[in-house]
Amino acid sequence: MQSTKAENLDLFVNAQLQFKRALTWIDDLKAGIVDYLINPNRTIHVRFPIHMDDESIQTFHGFRVLHNRVRGPGKGGIRYHPDVTEAEVSALAAFMTWKTAVVDLPFGGGKGGIVCNPKELSRGELRRITRRFVTELGDAIGPYTDIPAPDVYTDQQTMAWIYDTFDMMHPGENNLAVVTGKPLDIGGSVGRNEATAKGSLFATQQLLKRGVVAGLPAVQDARVAIQGFGNAGGTAARLFYEDGARIVAVSDSQGGIGLDSGIDPNKVLAHKKKHGSVVGFPGCTDISNEELLAYDCDILIPAALECQIRADNANNVKARLIVEAANGPLTMAADENLQSKNILVLPDIVANSGGVVVSYFEWVQNLENQQWDLEKVEKLLKKRMTRAVDETVDRWTALDEKYRSGFNGSHSGPNLRDAALVTAIKRIATVVLQRDIWP
């Protein structure tokens, strides 16, 4: 990651800053547990050679970080990207620990990544890279150890290769639960592809229902801008549109489009499939990603990469609510800036947890040899997301009352991220103490 004089944009640094800020709201946590929770439990760095299509041999680097597993197996995606670093993967693994705890899943947090550019690799090369990576990890992953899932530039096919490789290494066992986000024909769950976006919608609906955003009682008629038009962002655009929102701006890696009267995301998706980008969609004004973040809207949904809203551009945000569909899209400085402007942020560990919730459903179905229907999956997803939002808002209210009574005058008061992290940290710390420390 890069850094500027204004702030450090390293995702791991920002993750630790968020954790330490949340700790200021907890006055009964032992110091030793703090040190244990803030750092990864295990980090694996592998280097392996691959035969490329042109008969050359290229060496690739891969990482798998298990941040914490006191509540259950590690859980988290594997991403393929040229900018993958150990620090980034470590931060994302920590986010997964808090995310699984805040939605009360029996998982810990993990994350993986391979340094590569999938756009420059053939299907055969990606298959060989995936299978070799799984072989290198060996028993570091497993249904009861650490369970991967799709992430940036990985998909159902990648998960199928992971499952098949692991299954061949462990014959005679039911290994379906080693990975989630698989194709339906080999143990995947209905509803998994839309789970992250649908969870974001359910979470936003419940947050607005609680009346915490003045003048914005529901998704219906809200003006929504979305950065990112992939699985999370593109699907969110369609789902929010179907729920009555007015989609006023969307973007992808090449740029964005804006139209105050509203955009039909289904037509934009067709345009993107034909032209490779949302840019140039008829009737809209082409805008940059920076302009999208500053677009006049009610709800801003960052659904792309991390550190998109920073100290140098947070002042430009005009939205009343930010829903973090991406992981770590705001820096710590941006968070504090937005709080001072009374712009509410629904944090990533709540807002985008729908994916891991349905991954949990897939894991359960695999272990029990069951197949649930879509109605059951969506009903249970909505229940989990609604409860997580309610618990976060209730915790936020309690922390605010504590702050107003004179506790912790060192900063401006709690926000929703503080509340969610306090809930997650307390749940994990409770299990650590209940299990006791052995030997």
HSE (CB half, 13 Å, CA atoms) of 134? 24
How far apart CA 38 and CA 338 sit, in angstroms, is 25
Ordered alpha helix ranges (H), 210-331:
231-242, 265-275, 289-293
Phi and psi angles of residue 325, each rounded to the nearest 5 degrees, phi first: -75, -20
Amino acid at 297: C
Residue 111 is a catalytic residue: yes
Task: Please answer whether residues 224 and 248 qualify as being in contact, where contact means their C-beta atoms are separated by less than 8 angstroms.
Answer: yes
Strands 146-147 and 74-75: parallel
Specify whether the CB–CB gap between 195 and 163 falls below 8 A.
Answer: no
Read off the amino acid at residue 193. Answer: N
* Collapsed DSSP state (helix, strand, coil) of residue 344: strand
Question: What are the residues facing 45 on neighbouring strands?
Answer: 63
- Cross-strand partners of 258: 249, 285
In this structure, how many other beta carbons lie within 10 angstroms of the beta carbon of residue 292?
25
How many CB atoms within 10 Å of residue 379?
Answer: 12
Q: Residue 106, CB half-sphere, CA atoms under 13 Å: how many? A: 7
Q: Which residue from 67, 71, 51 is spatially nearest to 59, judged by alpha carbons?
A: 51
Strand-strand pairing, 344-346 and 321-323: parallel
C-beta of residue 418 within 8 angstroms of C-beta of residue 25: yes
CB count within 10 Å of CB 361 equals: 24
Strand extents, DSSP E, 122-281: 146-147, 223-227, 246-252, 255-258
The count of other CB atoms within 10 Å of the CB of residue 431 is 16
> How close are the terminal C-alpha atoms of the chain, in Å?
39
Q: CB atoms < 10 A from the CB of 305, how many?
A: 18
Active-site residue, selected from the candidate residues 20, 75, 99, 111? 111
Q: What is the DSSP letter of 73?
A: S
For the annotated catalytic residues, the residue numbers are: 111
